[in-house]
Structure 1
Amino acid sequence: MPVVALTVLATVPKIPFTDISLTVPYAAEGPGPVFDTLSEVDGQPVVSIDGTQVDQTSGELNMTTVSVRTQMTLAQALARWATTDDTIVPIEQVIPPNHSPEDIEEQNKAAFTRSESAATIAALNHLGRPVKVTVAELVEDSPAQGVLAPEDVITSVDAQPVSTPGQVQELVRAKKPGDSVALGIRRGETDRTVELELAESPKNKSVPMLGILMISTPADGVSVEYNLQDVGGPSAGMMFSLAVIDKLSPGELNGGHNVAGTGTISENGEIGPIGGIQHKVTAAHGEGAELFLAPKANCQEALAGNHGDMAIASVETLDDSIHAMEAFSSGKDFPRCS
């Protein structure tokens, strides 16, 4: 699973007057930048919320990253191994065979976008606020092209009400290519029903394809935007979700403390494991974090990071993370990585 990462691609060194590269087939992974999701970056809130009153926050909810360096010479790789806490890994772990760095960057950006959507919905579900399914993009030459449009809201599938992309996918995938599906659509102020014939997925001809990319969006006029650039992968999800909850609920979710963490998140609030967590723990400790929220499946790796006296909580759900912060602030026990 890709990590939230900043990929640094240096100019490829070559033997003069030849096309022979001097780089080694390894990458260096190390602690990356830390971003406070309650603060600003480049003059904009990392998490921007409009359409409702936003509560004042304090302390920090830090999203951690892994810095990835590729296209190193042997001397550069050895220097990073000898003088830093970087982990030297085969390049295939970062850029799989038959993929270019540009491919990986696009995949990481797409994963980051999906994590933003899931973070928003997990937070709104936690707060009991309504959500809706919105069409983000159409797949070229798909059944949806020419029928649906970006910003359409899908209200039902075969007359069954839906409010998350997962519900739409489940109902569509219960069918076969060639089957018809009736979608309830709201476009602007108009509601209507459209019928489409499902196509075959290019990757698996037995899987039906509608041909849209969906996101969950607030249904009560609230708008949530995330303003980070040059960061990819899905592991910012949990911290983004906590920031949204903190801004849309009274009080301080972190108790005013410096809290950091990492983990993927699903729309139902489940937190998943990520890669490179030992470097994220090291980065958080270096920024003065008092508490680190780590996916339970990553606990052993998390303890390998330089964490000093920073507490590392073991969490599996969004509720676990909130309870860990509450317990830490009040001096009570909570599940820790051990």
Structure 2
Amino acid sequence: MSRRTSTLAAAGLLVLTLVAVAMLLPVPYVTMRPGPTVDALGDYDGKPVLEVEGAKTYKTDGELRLTTVSVTRADSRVSLPQAFTAYFDPKEAVVPRDLVYPENQTAEESRQENAAQMASSKLTSEAAALTAAGYEVESVVEIAAVTEDGPSDGVLEVDDVLVAIDGTKVTGTDQAVKLVSSKKPGDVITLDIRRDGKDQTVKVTSEAATDDPSKARIGVSLGTDVELPFPITNNLGESIGGPSAGLVFALALYDMLTPGALTDGATVAGTGTIDAAGAVGPIGGIQQKLAGASSAGAKVFLVPDGNCAEAAASDDFGMRLVRVETLDDAVNALEKLSDDPKATVPTCS
């Protein structure tokens, strides 16, 4: 073999080696694929997804399916061939890793964040559904945290509902802070609270606020919550996380608590966050959720208004894409389609 031939062979081998190494090295991206769908009117792991106690429920029909996206785990890495394959698959997507997982976030931290978002989604969906169904839902101020060795340590507990401060009814977090800070440091403040459903009165000796010594503080952080008129159990568990199932949870509860069936036996899928007032918010992975819904047999897909442009530019897989901004929008559209599958409803176009 000549020197030139051997040099070319060595160079070729080096290039092949470098290419092989590059193919094995992870790239800073994650893949998104269609995840499982779950019928919120059905069962999950042998239990009803939603259970209502102490209120009349009505027979439902059809399916209301929440949709999910399967994303590369935080502790996994995507290779170049995997990213390349996903990029050219119309049902998948490749996105920068830091858009999904903040830098240095662990897999456990990601799981906890998704679980917290799902818990919040369950609560707001319940509040929205019950309000739409005609029930009274009370918004309350609760103790979110108690400062260790602070004035309220040993007196107040996390999740205590703050009912009144020195006889003034508490109506919001800002108002509660103003009521306390208007006192003088060292004043004894009387708090009416509700703990585990039982009302009681406690007293806390205030201290000076660190940022303004002229104002009082009691060493707690406040949050907002809602109190429902009867218990609702969501048995979905933590296998599915994030806030995007809120709209479908709310629809399923509304369907259970009101006469008639929203879907008239059809399979309807959807996605979207929801707040306690019923406003629907956009989500990520709409393309993958559309694909998953189609595979589950859905003919109608409820799309948050903020995702409509993206959904319209994607493959609709033969489904009717219904645009919704609120829970009322979704209910009205499904009622119209139940009466007439060809009815005119807001769409993504």
Same fold (TM over 0.5): yes
Alpha-carbon distance in structure 2 between the residues aligned to 1:209 and 1:298? 42
Alpha-carbon distance in structure 2 between the residues aligned to 1:143 and 1:115? 33
1:168 Cα shift? Answer: 2.9
Alpha-carbon distance in structure 2 between the residues aligned to 1:152 and 1:254? 40
From 122, 126, 129, the equivalent of 2:128 is 122
Matched residue, 1:131: 137
Alpha-carbon distance in structure 2 between the residues aligned to 1:337 and 1:173? 44
Matched residue, 2:67: 64
Matched residue, 1:25: 28
Query: CA distance change for structure 1 residues 83 and 275 in 2, over 3 Å: closer, same or farther?
Result: closer
> Which shifted more, 271-280 or 179-188?
179-188
* Structure ranking higher in helix proportion: 2
Contact 1:144 1:210 in 2 (8 A): yes
State yes or no: 1:241 paired with 2:247.
Answer: no
Larger Rg: 2
Alpha-carbon distance in structure 2 between the residues aligned to 1:196 and 1:287? 59
3-state DSSP of counterpart to 2:303? strand
Alpha-carbon distance in structure 1 between the residues aligned to 2:143 and 2:292? 34
Letter in 2 for 1:186: R
Matched residue, 1:285: 294
Alpha-carbon distance in structure 2 between the residues aligned to 1:296 and 1:144? 44
Query: CA distance change for structure 1 residues 136 and 209 in 2, over 3 Å: closer, same or farther?
Result: closer
1:172 Cα shift? Answer: 3.9
1:1-338 maps to which residues of 2 (within 5 A)?
Answer: 22-69=25-72, 70-83=76-89, 85-132=91-138, 133=140, 135=142, 138-139=145-146, 141=148, 145-150=153-158, 152-156=160-164, 161=169, 168-172=172-176, 183-187=191-195, 188-192=197-201, 210-212=220-222, 214-219=224-229, 221-331=230-340, 332-338=343-349
3-state DSSP of counterpart to 2:67? strand
Letter in 2 for 1:67: S
Provide the aligned length of Structure 1 versus Structure 2: 308
3-state DSSP of counterpart to 1:109? helix
Contact 1:41 1:228 in 2 (8 A): no
CA RMSD in angstroms comes to 3.1
Letter in 1 for 2:79: T
Could you tell me the TM-score, scaled by structure 1's length?
0.79
Alpha-carbon distance in structure 2 between the residues aligned to 1:114 and 1:103? 17
1:37-78 per-residue CA deviation (whole Å, 9 max, x = no partner) reads 000111011112222232211101110111102412222222
Contact 2:146 2:157 in 1 (8 A): no
Contact 1:135 1:154 in 2 (8 A): yes
Long gaps (5+) in structure 2: 1-23, 212-217
Letter in 2 for 1:321: A
1:142-185 per-residue CA deviation (whole Å, 9 max, x = no partner) reads 765433335634434675656xxxx5334346679796886531
Contact 2:155 2:202 in 1 (8 A): no
Long gaps (5+) in structure 1: 1-20, 202-207
1:287 Cα shift? Answer: 1.2
Query: CA distance change for structure 1 residues 243 and 143 in 2, over 3 Å: closer, same or farther?
Result: farther
Letter in 1 for 2:259: P
Could you tell me the TM-score, scaled by structure 2's length?
0.77
Contact 1:285 1:306 in 2 (8 A): no
Give the share of equivalent positions with the same residue, in percent. Answer: 36
1:20-39 per-residue CA deviation (whole Å, 9 max, x = no partner) reads x9322110012111111000
Alpha-carbon distance in structure 2 between the residues aligned to 1:28 and 1:179? 54
Contact 2:124 2:246 in 1 (8 A): yes
Contact 1:182 1:194 in 2 (8 A): yes
Alpha-carbon distance in structure 1 between the residues aligned to 2:271 and 2:166? 38
Contact 1:136 1:215 in 2 (8 A): no
Alpha-carbon distance in structure 2 between the residues aligned to 1:194 and 1:247? 43
